[in-house]
């Protein structure tokens, strides 16, 4: 973890979602999430991921993408704040005899990358644990981990609508929730997400990405308009380092 943080620095573990720290929840996570990393891996390959590449997965969870990517690239760093998630990921990496996966207990705001800059950063359904102020700092840190022209594939729960549509969109989303927690996210779980976590609007996330030095190469949103995916290229130094933000 970050060796010395000021007293105003966010405690990422306290914002990680209590369920992610619970070994019982983690044991059933893959079934509940039902995620298939194939399409994202294909997309990363289209952007040049190969046996020479380094990929960092931030908020890697049980490692669906990280472990699939490890078969295709040189070095994978799987980063997560949750000891329970990392221990599940480590066990799967051992089972699969993958020697090129490093598990690091850290977060968006604390992971210190060592070695050559990464070619790819991947993050799925994790950034929304940070309030927007911290997302800005996190994205800037992500840009600094990547080589120039490196690729960020960011997927998250994002509000891809106008505030005036919030009630209709959120109610429609919750109406389609799973009936049982083993099968997916139930209405109370989704309601907790909306109420207590920090999904932002897509029209706020886009300028945050650009300000961090990314060009948004491609973006998509789910039919429910509650998930979005961005493929971004690290182009320039973050805007905040290019001069003062405010004239005084
Ligand atoms: C919904 S899970 C997603 C896991 C995985 N990426 C996936 O798509 O299945 C969110 C993950 O983000 C992790 N997380 C929460 N806050 C984080 C932070 N600030 N930095 C890194 N990981 C974080 C949680 O521990 C959890 O493993």
Q: What is the pLDDT of residues 186-239, one digit of tens each?
A: 999 999 999 999 999 999 999 999 999 999 999 999 999 999 999 999 998 776
Q: Which residues line ligand 1 (CB under 6 A)?
A: 12, 16, 20, 33, 35, 58-61, 64, 80-82, 85, 107-108, 124-126, 129-130
In terms of C-beta density within 10 A (0-12 exposed, 13-18 middle, 19 or more buried), how is residue 139 classed?
A: buried
Closest residue to atom 4 of ligand 1, CA basis: 61
pLDDT tens column, 130-139: 999 999 999 9
User: Would you say residue 246 has pLDDT above 50?
Assistant: no
pLDDT value at residue 43: 98
CA of 65 to the centre of ligand 1 (A): 12
- Global pTM reads 0.95
Question: Measured from the CA of 63, which atom of ligand 1 is nearest?
Answer: 5
pLDDT confidence tier of residue 240, bands split at 50, 70 and 90: low
CA angle 46, 50, 56 (to 5 degrees): 90
Which pLDDT belongs to residue 15?
96
DSSP string, 160-206: -S-GGGHHHHHHHHHHT-BSSTTTS-BHHHHHHHHHHS---BHHHHH
Q: How far away, in angstroms, is 127 Cα from ligand 1 center?
A: 8
Q: Can you give the pLDDT at residue 241?
A: 53
Quickly list DSSP for 25-55. HHHTHHHHH----HHHHHHHHHTT--TT-EE
Q: Considering only CA atoms, which residue is closest to atom 1 of ligand 1?
A: 125
pLDDT in tens, 115-159: 999 999 999 999 999 999 999 999 999 999 999 999 999 999 999
Q: Best substitution site from 20, 92, 136 to test ligand 1's pocket, by max atoms within 8 Å of Cβ?
A: 20
Residue 244 has pLDDT above 50, yes or no: no
Neighbours of 233 (CB within 10 A): 17
d(CA 230, CA 248): 35
Which residue's CA is the nearest one to ligand 1's atom 16?
16
Residue nearest to atom 15 of ligand 1 (CA): 16
Residue 20 CA, closest ligand 1 atom number: 25
Specify the ligand 1 atom closest to the Cα of 129. 16
Pick the residue whose CA is nearest to atom 5 on ligand 1: 61
What residue's CA is closest to ligand 1, atom 8?
A: 124
């Amino acid at each position: 973890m970050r060796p010395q943080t000021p007293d105003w620095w966010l405690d990422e573990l306290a914002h990680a979602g209590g369920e992610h720290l619970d070994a019982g929840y983690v044991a059933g996570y893959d079934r509940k999430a039902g995620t298939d990393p194939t399409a994202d891996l294909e997309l990363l390959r289209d952007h040049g991921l190969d046996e020479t590449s380094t990929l960092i997965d931030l908020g890697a969870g049980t490692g669906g993408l990280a472990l699939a990517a490890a078969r295709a690239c040189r070095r994978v760093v799987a980063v997560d704040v949750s000891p329970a998630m990392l221990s599940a990921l480590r066990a799967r990496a051992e089972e699969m005899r993958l020697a090129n996966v490093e598990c690091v207990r850290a977060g968006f705001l604390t992971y210190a990358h060592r070695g050559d800059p990464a070619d790819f950063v991947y993050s799925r359904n994790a950034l929304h644990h940070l309030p927007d102020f911290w997302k800005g700092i996190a994205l800037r840190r992500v840009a600094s981990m990547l080589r120039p022209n490196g690729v960020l594939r960011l997927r998250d729960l994002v509000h891809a609508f106008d505030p005036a549509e919030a009630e209709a969109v959120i109610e429609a989303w919750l109406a389609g929730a799973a009936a049982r927690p083993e099968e997916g996210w139930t209405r109370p779980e989704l309601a907790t997400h909306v109420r207590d976590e920090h999904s932002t609007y897509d029209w706020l996330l886009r300028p945050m990405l650009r300000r961090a030095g990314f060009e948004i190469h491609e973006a998509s949103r789910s039919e429910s308009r509650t998930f979005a995916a961005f493929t971004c290229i690290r182009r320039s130094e973050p805007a905040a380092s290019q001069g003062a933000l405010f004239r005084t």
